[in-house]
């Protein structure tokens, strides 16, 4: 058990997460005209030099300030710590949006304390908005000098819900996700494919989406946004009693999570 895992520690972790995410955001905003692109799991799964530079900056800021912490980063950063705190970072969530000049991409920084998600910062530099969530305290959207507390409201019926989802990178995964979205679309108000999972989760917290689900998210896609959504009162879960994870992540206000859960179960949304 970590020593002093109280208010002071959460203050320190959230301030550091915010400072590091903002610094990485500045770096990413200075995007070079020519951006070489490599592929990862499939030709559609891309990574740029800026993803890697952003992760290097995050690692150096976070571990520079707290050298005994652990860290897991999408671009290879991995370190076992001894302090009871582990950072989980996606240095650029929404790389395809970034590549095409779409504004919705984020730097996602989460801190787990004793294995439990405790702090989440999702910083969206191109729209100058930042989401912060602290377990047990609440969630906020920061924009300019303003700070707005987030609390999910009473959701609409599923038939009137605006839902978000995302797609994986392999052909097989996309075939199955295409089948699911084809069956969900006629049953809801409309569907958005935002392109950055961390932002989808924060937009559920912020009321910009009524619900979101996705299969195949990795810990760095989920960690920070999950803290924000949960701290705003959303339910973040998997299917059939599973916790949210790679099998499936579903986030919604409590009254909507049940009906969407049942529909996704019927459709086998957690199967490949």
- The label of the residue with tokens 């069956």 reads 183
User: Which span (27-35, 161-169, 230-238, 246-254) binds ligand IPD, by CB under 6 A?
Assistant: 161-169
- Answer for which of 168, 219, 225, 238 binds ligand IPD (CB under 6 A) is 168
Output the residue with the shortest Cβ distance to Ca ion: 93
Q: Would you count residue 73 as binding ligand IPD (CB under 6 A)?
A: no
Strand order in the sheet with 249-252: 190-192, 162-165, 211-214, 249-252, 235-237
Nearer to Ca ion, 189 or 218 (CB): 218
216, interface contact from ligand IPD, Ca ion, none, CB < 5-8 Å by kind: ligand IPD
**Smallest distance from ligand IPD to CB 216, Å:** 6
Q: Would you count residue 214 as binding Ca ion (CB under 5 A)?
A: no
Q: Binding residues for ligand IPD, how many (CB under 6 A)?
A: 14
Pairing of β 138-143 and β 129-134: antiparallel
167, interface contact from ligand IPD, Ca ion, none, CB < 5-8 Å by kind: ligand IPD
What gap in Å lies between CA 104 and CA 127, rounded to an integer?
7
Backbone dihedral region for residue 233 (phi beyond 0: left; psi -120 to 50: alpha; all else: beta): left
What gap in Å lies between CA 84 and CA 81, rounded to an integer?
7
**Smallest distance from ligand IPD to CB 11, Å:** 28
Q: Would you count residue 270 as binding ligand IPD (CB under 6 A)?
A: no
Strands (E), 98-252: 106-113, 116-124, 129-134, 138-143, 146-150, 162-165, 190-192, 211-214, 235-237, 249-252
- Answer for which of 55, 90, 112, 210 binds Ca ion (CB under 5 A) is 90
**Smallest distance from Ca ion to CB 195, Å:** 10
For residues 192-211, which are near ligand IPD according to CB under 6 A? 195-197
Q: Which of 167, 166, 175 is nearest to 204 (CA)?
A: 166
List all residues 6 or more positions away from 244 whose beta carbon is below 8 Å from its beta carbon.
Answer: 222, 226, 236, 237, 238, 250, 251
> 21 near 120, Cβ under 8 Å?
no
User: Which span (25-33, 89-97, 117-125, 239-247) binds ligand IPD, by CB under 6 A?
Assistant: 89-97
For residues 2-61, which are near ligand IPD according to CB under 6 A? none
Q: Any idea how long the chain is?
A: 272
Using DSSP, state whether 16 is helix, strand or coil.
Answer: helix
**Smallest distance from ligand IPD to CB 107, Å:** 10
Write out the two tokens for 179: 């089948």
Q: Would you count residue 200 as binding Ca ion (CB under 5 A)?
A: no
For residues 70-89, which are near Ca ion according to CB under 5 A? 74
> 252 near 235, Cβ under 8 Å?
yes
- Answer for which of 55, 69, 90, 206 binds ligand IPD (CB under 6 A) is 90
Classify residue 232 by its DSSP letter. Answer: T
- Answer for which of 55, 69, 93, 112 binds Ca ion (CB under 5 A) is 93
Binding site for ligand IPD (CB under 6 A): 90, 93-95, 166-168, 195-197, 214, 216-217, 221
């Amino acid at each position: 058990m970590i020593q002093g895992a109280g208010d002071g520690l959460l203050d320190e972790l959230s301030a550091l997460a915010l400072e590091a995410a903002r610094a990485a955001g500045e770096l990413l905003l200075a995007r070079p005209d020519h951006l070489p692109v490599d592929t990862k799991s499939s030709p559609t799964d891309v990574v740029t030099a800026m993803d890697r530079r952003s992760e290097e900056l995050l690692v150096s800021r976070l571990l520079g300030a707290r050298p005994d912490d652990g860290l897991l980063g999408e671009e290879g950063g991995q370190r076992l710590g001894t302090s009871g705190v582990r950072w989980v970072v996606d240095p650029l969530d929404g790389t395809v949006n970034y590549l095409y000049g779409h504004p919705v991409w984020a730097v996602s920084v989460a801190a787990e304390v004793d294995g439990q998600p405790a702090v989440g910062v999702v910083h969206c530099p191109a729209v100058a908005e930042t989401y912060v969530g602290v377990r047990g305290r609440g969630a906020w959207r920061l924009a300019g000098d303003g700070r707005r507390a987030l609390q999910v409201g009473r959701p609409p019926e599923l038939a009137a819900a605006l839902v978000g989802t995302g797609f994986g990178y392999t052909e097989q995964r996309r075939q199955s996700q295409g089948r699911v979205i084809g069956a969900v679309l006629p049953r809801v108000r409309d569907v958005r494919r935002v392109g950055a999972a961390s932002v989808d989760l924060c937009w559920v917290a912020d009321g910009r989406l009524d619900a979101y689900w996705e299969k195949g998210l990795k810990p760095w896609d989920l960690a920070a946004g999950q803290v924000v959504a949960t701290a705003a009162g959303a339910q973040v879960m998997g299917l059939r009693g599973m916790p949210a994870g790679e099998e499936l992540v579903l986030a919604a206000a409590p009254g909507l999570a049940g009906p969407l859960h049942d529909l996704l179960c019927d459709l086998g949304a957690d199967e490949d």
